[in-house]
Structure 1
């Protein structure tokens, strides 16, 4: 078992402890570290060094190294890069657009980055040393295309149907994007990582020894990650819209309607930033699957009633 997974096995057992760990791992200053420094930190973690003096190395290894391959993650798809890179795109995607083209553009950026982040941080234990197949590339491209078009549907409806009614426009701009954003995030992750459900992922016993490949564990890993991503984008779409709708009724915003736009931008970025550690902490990074849910050939290996698997991000 990779040193990163061994760390998660002994830490972050509760939701609050995982949030605390992720708040530390999401420090953007680690993005300035070189690949050589990251590899050295990962090697140090593999030697079992987890003292306070090695806390920076621990943070560097956990936030920048893939837990299956041990390879350094691409810079833009490391967890600490999620907020600075994705926040402007999320804000742009949730803007009340005027044209369909602008809505499609921002949705394409958002869904492309979401797909890239999911693929880079997937469970790759069953495909070591294998390059991305043409089928997988087409699947990802199809998922990005579909979710981009679906994400722009509210603006398409408003323009094509020439909707001018304020209540109907409010529905398409403020209410519909909430379930739509959550559903598209779930679909994006599920599609990009569908191979894990088809081929399975490596599972480990309580001692950290690999015991086989499980499709059931792969399906569970994908579902958990998709749910966490749906929560991230669903809440990010819901809270700012609710806040703006409430503040629009107050005197300061009725007198100065120009304040609504910056409030919306700031609140979207703020809520998205809060939801990143919450979303990443909803499920353990090293998940467990019970014996009765495993394939028959793997049930005997679950001596203590469960096996472990890497969930991915």
Structure 2
């Protein structure tokens, strides 16, 4: 079992411990580390008994920059510390009240491309460890997922333009209410689609000592489901709370006298909420997930020791 997973096994089994860890892992300064530094930190993490407080920086660097299946550094733009600086502007752009369908499609395309890339980079790579490579089917599936989620994300603007909606209540519904469930649903769908291979072929499961037991489709389905729920919570909450905040602020005298404040408050609140929700959503489920022995396939239950087994959930 990878040193990153062994660390999550000992330190990341409660929500609050994971939350505290993720607040440290999302520091953008970690993006400045070089690949040799990352490899050194990952190697050091494999010697937990030798670590002390002075080595916490190495632990943080390894957890934030190394994939827990391959042991290789993650692509720079898809490391967790890069998500807020890169996805923040894209989330703001996708939630803007666009005037044309082209603008709505443009911002949705950028956001959905980044989300698909992030989901793919943080998938469970059990199949690759067995010798399989990224197939043409997977690449076509990614392109189809981006295309579908881009069009679906722009549906409110398409609906208003095609039907020539001029009613303020309906426009407000399409721009403020409809994007909330839509953002959550599309975020979950992207995870389900991009990581569908894990549900179909299975992922590696380990016993309590870190020994490989086998490949389980049940564990793969649970890993994808948990990740999809966490991503829906991330983007659904980020879409919902800025609109609720603006509804309250618009009733105040300050905003009634200065309506130009609405746009900057919307943008800033969306970025702040995304930043606050990132560690929360990443902490909802353990990185090293658990599955009951009786929920595994029959052929794995015989060789499994203990009531629970472990698997890498991905991110």
Could you state the TM-score of these two structures normalised by the residue count of structure 2? 0.98
Stretches of structure 2 that go unaligned for 5 or more consecutive residues are: none
Per-residue deviation at 1:50? 3.0
3-state SS in 1 of match to 2:214: strand
Per-residue deviation at 1:12? 1.7
Task: Work out the CA distance in 1 between the residues paired with 2:88 and 2:132.
Answer: 32
Per-residue deviation at 1:51? 1.4
Deviations, residues 189-237 of structure 1 (Å, cap 9, x unaligned): 1000000001100000000001100000000000000000000000000
Which residue number corresponds to residue 196 of structure 2? 194
3-state SS in 2 of match to 1:236: helix
Which residue number corresponds to residue 26 of structure 1? 26
Task: Work out the CA distance in 2 between the residues paired with 1:247 and 1:26.
Answer: 30
Which residue number corresponds to residue 276 of structure 1? 278
Per-residue deviation at 1:175? 0.5
Q: From 300, 303, 308, give the equivalent of 1:306.
A: 308
Within the alignment, does 1:35 sit opposite 2:44 as a pair?
no
Runs of 4+ in 1 over 4 A off after TM superposition: none
Which residue number corresponds to residue 55 of structure 1? 56
Does structure 1 conserve the Cα–Cα contact (< 8 Å) formed by 2:213 and 2:304? Answer: no
Which residue number corresponds to residue 144 of structure 2? 142
Does structure 1 conserve the Cα–Cα contact (< 8 Å) formed by 2:206 and 2:212? Answer: yes
Which residue number corresponds to residue 74 of structure 1? 75
Deviations, residues 76-125 of structure 1 (Å, cap 9, x unaligned): 00011111111011111111111100000000111100000010011001
Does structure 2 conserve the Cα–Cα contact (< 8 Å) formed by 1:205 and 1:301? Answer: no
Could you state the TM-score of these two structures normalised by the residue count of structure 1? 0.98
Per-residue deviation at 1:17? 1.0
3-state SS in 1 of match to 2:176: helix
Which residue number corresponds to residue 114 of structure 1? 115
Task: Work out the CA distance in 2 between the residues paired with 1:179 and 1:140.
Answer: 22
Task: Work out the CA distance in 2 between the residues paired with 1:144 and 1:10.
Answer: 37
Q: From 178, 181, 188, give the equivalent of 2:180.
A: 178
Which residue number corresponds to residue 14 of structure 1? 14
Of the structure 1 ranges 146-155 and 162-171, higher mean CA displacement relative to structure 2 is found in 162-171
3-state SS in 2 of match to 1:126: helix
Per-residue deviation at 1:261? 0.3
Which residue number corresponds to residue 131 of structure 1? 133
